[in-house]
Structure 1
Amino acid sequence: MVNFARRSLLKGLAAATSLSAMGVASAADGRDQFVVTTRGGNAERRLEAAGATVLDSIAGGRVLLVAADSATTADVNGVRSVDPNRGYRPVGPAKRSTEESLDEDFAAIQWDKQADTTGAFEAHDTATGDGRDVAIIDTGIDTEHPDLRNAIGRGQLFRADGVVSPDGGPRVDGDVTVPARLPDGPEIASYVYLGAPAIREQAAGDDVDSHGSHCAGIATAKHDDTSAGEDFGIAGMAPDAEVVPLRVFYWKELAGYPYDMDDDGEEESVTVTTLWTTDYDILAAIDYAADIGVDAANMSLGGGVVKGSAHNTGEHVAYQTVIQSAVRRGTVVTTSAGNADADLQHEGYYTLPNSVPGSISVSATGPNNERVFYSNYGTSDIDVGAPGGGYETLEKTLADDTDWPYPLNLVYSTVPPDLNDGTAYAWYAGTSMAAPQVAGLVALLREVDPDLSAKRVQSIIENTARFSRGKSSADLGAGVIHAPSALDRASK
């Protein structure tokens, strides 16, 4: 019999990467923000002439952040689409089952890096990601964790409302000190935050949650560190690669949110504090990752499952434009497939950004290399599988009689001690944990051959993956990534 509290815990855990829409971002003057895609040319000038304000531009001017009184800017010549700059919050908690981290050498419990899964430890005899870099588009990365080689000076905070920017713009350099609001009012749903005080000063690229640091460790945690002693902590997929924090989540106070019903059945609006991001924040981070030439940009985030016709929306066009632009410039984009246990193969269902052609969409697997119970699937959307934690069913995940009993079947990685009651490592699960495995593998391949194009890197990863029947599995796509085979192929 499954304990109810543990059942609820895993349901929340499996929702870690999902985003829930929460209205539209506003500019400093109170006007709504829009994400505008253009056909190039003089679209920016024409938008300004029509009374709109262009706040930011990416992808060579083909995607803009615009403040306007309405979406009527769609009528401007040269404009392809106009969509609200939608805001999102994470659905459900992202952290689970932390423990003390004073003991050294956690490699023995890293099933996700062992020979019968990704083979990362074996691959480190050939490459460790030396001289390569991975960007984590997420909640930031802990700047002081001894297991993370954090390139904070190359990082950025993307915040479309410009609230903490010195110049009021939508981005802040990662090493600039900014105020970070922590929740001090009613929160939406059951999101748990372990930090205090309500406001603190920190680097713009520093973690405000823990999720980003956990993804960073999976991709790039150092296996040893002279300041902490030999065999300290865990080993990432690319332990000698740099990790660049591109923070797109920030705590935001929202007034008038429809939170609940009062005793009379009337909708009650409250002011809430929640983690928040917008479409443009994410798009700008992808574009910036390509601008600075990182080898891989990882997005362990995504919207909910939507249906067919939304493929034609401006939102989809914007993501496709920016992701494909990044890939052309050499940055491999890795994305989590989502945690809704949804079939993305039939009836036109899809999720953003992983369903966009050009990104490597990653499903989550367990210690037995099978798709886990929460991971989305579908041959049209899944490129490869990688360790995300858990088993094929919730009951098996929580069972005590498996080779890797709970929580050992989850993925162990780095978290900020100051946000986790002094704990520096934690067990998480989700497709969030699967995608950075692939991002780290990109860094290994680029160490072996720096001239590999983004498309060639993806081809090697897919063609050397394992455990997929016919290389077109709805669960695993081309299969579970295998680092030694990929490096062998790249070296030839």
Structure 2
Amino acid sequence: MLGGGNGVSRRLERDGFSVTRELAGGDVLIVSGPADSVDDLTGVRGVEGAVRDVQFQLEESAETEIPDEEGGESGGVESDWYENLWDKQNSDAVAANDIATGEGTQIGIIDTGVDYAHPDLTPNLDADAGRLFREGETRSGVEEDLVVNNPDPDEQIQRVKQHVASDVNGHGTHVAGIAAADPESGVGGPFGSGVQGVAPDADLISYRVFWWEDFSDEDEDPDWGPTTTTGDVLAAIDFGAEEGLDAVNLSLGTPPFPPRVHQDEVLRTIRLAYETVVRSAVNRGTVVVASAGNANTDLQRRGVFSLPNSTKGAMSISALAPNDERAFFSNFGTNEIDVGAGGGGYETNLKTFYGIREWVFTGAPLRRSDHPLEEGDEGELWLDEDGNVVFDPEEVAEVIEFESPAWPYPFNLVFSTTSPLNEGAPYGWKAGTSMSAPNTAGLVALVRELRPDASPNQVESAIKKGAEGGNGRSDPALGTGSINALNTVEALADDGGSGNGNRPGNGSDN
């Protein structure tokens, strides 16, 4: 609910409600009470609006691929996987790490959790700081929890005892590795030595907001899905700001809403709650980085919006392909996108899948250099009557011949850490604006290392000034351009000094 101060909490509790959390300095309250009591809440003096908390499910990444345990031998610290990291190559992240590595900064991953056992992440993971935000509660420590997508088909549903902020899906582990994986701490063996995050020395904080729930009716087969609530996401943002994190990354969000929902009291109140909490977090010095969404929608068109990325004060990040074009799935919109970053895929769905047939039929070799297609090689896609990619000759309705792009499937997706518990392997590829957001959150950490007192607005300005490929204005696909870590940190290093403004209370809206 919106509205606080002046004794509102006391009046609510006197009327039989329980205030479980005060956000944004008390301007947003999470309240528990009877399910039919919303009208009673709005009648309390000082309450500006109240709605039931909204529960929603996780939108998975646009594409996912996990390698088999095959391929080349383990080599040096950075050489094993760097050729797969086109997103880091495009942003010159490794060269930027000669100037800044994110040391002394903190990135909060508001997601499905982070794998507490992954060697690429454990050097940077602040285990004690991790939290689970679930149904109004903030939990820490070790508990038994449910994991559904176990790669073992005989034990798909299992209960595991682990830290409450540990990953229960795999999505958050991939996101965390993009932002801040340590390349010197890989798993070894056929999987190599490790992958490189944008800020390999930044501290990672796992704020888990998703859990598994069965959405089926009593007489139906189980329909498990990862779910969260608006209140839990808002609580995680507020908690991160209260803890003084440099950035919180939100690789999650709602589908695009049409402008008519502004007339819907529930969604109008939820949007205002997001704006209040994000504004409060930014004013306290935390940069809020959000994925733009994967619906291929113009968010500027006649008032269409999604949350939290359309929230004033949050950085909205679009997904770019290896050629720095907008990925086919990424949302876009003039004045809606701040910058673009590597998110995977190509401009079209079919171009993204070029190479999948050769990849599958050759047994999914582990190393990029082992892929059967090189740039310009001839290949083909098999499509069924609905235009879906198929591998059974009896299902083929159309064959498309093509010349392979520089990064055939799955290498045009973003390569990062994955959770063996959830996905069966320590590394894999995913695509989505979920991947572009942490590329930017990692860059926030580099800026904050060099400018620890910079306000969120100053951090955002530095990233935009270092971006490439834009036209100096708000491009619908790129915002001000594609992030470039080297340009950004070089400009800050050339300026000299480490203080640039008074960070607390000096944030401003986009």
TM-score by length of 1: 0.83
The answer to whether the 8 A contact 2:195-2:416 is kept is yes
- What letter matches 1:51 in structure 2? G
1:426 to 420, 425, 428: 428
| Structure possessing the higher radius of gyration over alpha carbons | 2
The answer to whether the 8 A contact 1:225-1:231 is kept is no
Q: How does 1:248-263 map to 2 (within 5 A)?
A: 248-254=209-215, 256=217
Q: How does 1:437-452 map to 2 (within 5 A)?
A: 437-452=439-454
Give deviations 1:17-64, integer Å, cap 9, x for gaps: xxxxxxxxxxxxxxxxxxx11142211112122222212222211111
2:343 is the alignment partner of 1:388: yes
1:194 to 120, 128, 151: 151
Correspondence for 1:327: 282
Instruction: Give 1:411 shift.
Output: 0.2
Instruction: Give 1:92 shift.
Output: 4.7
The answer to whether the 8 A contact 1:255-1:271 is kept is yes
- What letter matches 1:405 in structure 2? P
2:413 is the alignment partner of 1:410: yes
2:278 is the alignment partner of 1:276: no
Give deviations 1:229-274, integer Å, cap 9, x for gaps: 99821100001111100000011234648xxxxxxxxxx7666432
The answer to whether the 8 A contact 1:100-1:425 is kept is no
- What letter matches 1:151 in structure 2? D
| Corresponding residue SS for 2:2 | strand
- What letter matches 1:156 in structure 2? R
The answer to whether the 8 A contact 1:90-1:276 is kept is yes
Report the count of equivalent residues.
426
Task: Tell me how far apart the structure 2 counterparts of residues 157 and 290 of structure 1 sit (CA, whole Å).
Answer: 16
2:443 is the alignment partner of 1:482: no
Correspondence for 1:160: 135
| Corresponding residue SS for 2:145 | strand
Correspondence for 2:462: 460
Correspondence for 2:366: none
2:138 is the alignment partner of 1:171: yes
2:13 to 35, 39, 48: 48
Instruction: Give 1:128 shift.
Output: 0.8
Give 5+ residue unaligned stretches, structure 2: 356-403, 496-510
- What letter matches 2:408 in structure 1? P
| Corresponding residue SS for 2:22 | strand
Give 5+ residue unaligned stretches, structure 1: 1-35, 162-169, 184-191, 258-267
Task: Tell me how far apart the structure 2 counterparts of residues 77 and 459 of structure 1 sit (CA, whole Å).
Answer: 41
- What letter matches 2:457 in structure 1? K
The answer to whether the 8 A contact 1:363-1:476 is kept is yes
Aligned-pair identity (%): 41
- What letter matches 1:288 in structure 2? F
Say if 1:255 and 1:411 are closer, same or farther in 2 by CA, change over 3 A.
closer
**Bigger mean CA deviation after superposition, 426-435 or 36-45:** 36-45
Instruction: Give 1:95 shift.
Output: 6.2
Give deviations 1:396-452, integer Å, cap 9, x for gaps: 11124101111111000001112222x100000000000000100011111112111
Give deviations 1:75-103, integer Å, cap 9, x for gaps: 21111111211111124566621014684
Say if 1:94 and 1:242 are closer, same or farther in 2 by CA, change over 3 A.
farther
2:25 is the alignment partner of 1:60: yes
Correspondence for 1:307: 258
| Corresponding residue SS for 2:49 | strand
| Corresponding residue SS for 2:128 | helix
The answer to whether the 8 A contact 2:147-2:422 is kept is no
Correspondence for 2:245: 294
Task: Tell me how far apart the structure 2 counterparts of residues 458 and 337 of structure 1 sit (CA, whole Å).
Answer: 16
Task: Tell me how far apart the structure 2 counterparts of residues 256 and 97 of structure 1 sit (CA, whole Å).
Answer: 31
- What letter matches 1:433 in structure 2? M
- What letter matches 2:202 in structure 1? A
- What letter matches 1:325 in structure 2? S
Task: Tell me how far apart the structure 2 counterparts of residues 297 and 273 of structure 1 sit (CA, whole Å).
Answer: 27
Correspondence for 1:364: 319
Correspondence for 2:364: none
| Corresponding residue SS for 1:277 | strand
Say if 1:399 and 1:417 are closer, same or farther in 2 by CA, change over 3 A.
same
**Bigger mean CA deviation after superposition, 373-382 or 67-76:** 67-76
Instruction: Give 1:296 shift.
Output: 0.7
Say if 1:311 and 1:452 are closer, same or farther in 2 by CA, change over 3 A.
farther
Task: Tell me how far apart the structure 1 counterparts of residues 215 and 19 of structure 2 sit (CA, whole Å).
Answer: 24
Correspondence for 2:387: none
Task: Tell me how far apart the structure 2 counterparts of residues 278 and 107 of structure 1 sit (CA, whole Å).
Answer: 37
- What letter matches 2:281 in structure 1? A
Structure 1 runs of 4+ with >6 Å offset: none
- What letter matches 2:139 in structure 1? V
More strand by share: 1
Correspondence for 2:105: 132
**Bigger mean CA deviation after superposition, 222-231 or 36-45:** 222-231
Task: Tell me how far apart the structure 1 counterparts of residues 300 and 443 of structure 2 sit (CA, whole Å).
Answer: 26
Give deviations 1:132-182, integer Å, cap 9, x for gaps: 111100000000111012112111000016xxxxxxxx0102xx1111113
**Bigger mean CA deviation after superposition, 247-256 or 327-336:** 247-256
The answer to whether the 8 A contact 1:95-1:426 is kept is no
2:46 to 78, 97, 100: 78
**Bigger mean CA deviation after superposition, 123-132 or 90-99:** 90-99
Give RMSD over aligned pairs: 2.1
Say if 1:98 and 1:453 are closer, same or farther in 2 by CA, change over 3 A.
same
- What letter matches 1:123 in structure 2? A
Task: Tell me how far apart the structure 1 counterparts of residues 184 and 59 of structure 2 sit (CA, whole Å).
Answer: 35
- What letter matches 1:209 in structure 2? N
Instruction: Give 1:68 shift.
Output: 2.5
Task: Tell me how far apart the structure 2 counterparts of residues 227 and 351 of structure 1 sit (CA, whole Å).
Answer: 38
Correspondence for 1:98: 66
**Bigger mean CA deviation after superposition, 303-312 or 430-439:** 303-312
Instruction: Give 1:464 shift.
Output: 1.7
Instruction: Give 1:110 shift.
Output: 0.4
Instruction: Give 1:227 shift.
Output: 8.6
Task: Tell me how far apart the structure 2 counterparts of residues 198 and 367 of structure 1 sit (CA, whole Å).
Answer: 37
**Bigger mean CA deviation after superposition, 305-314 or 366-375:** 305-314
Instruction: Give 1:489 shift.
Output: 2.5
| Corresponding residue SS for 1:106 | helix
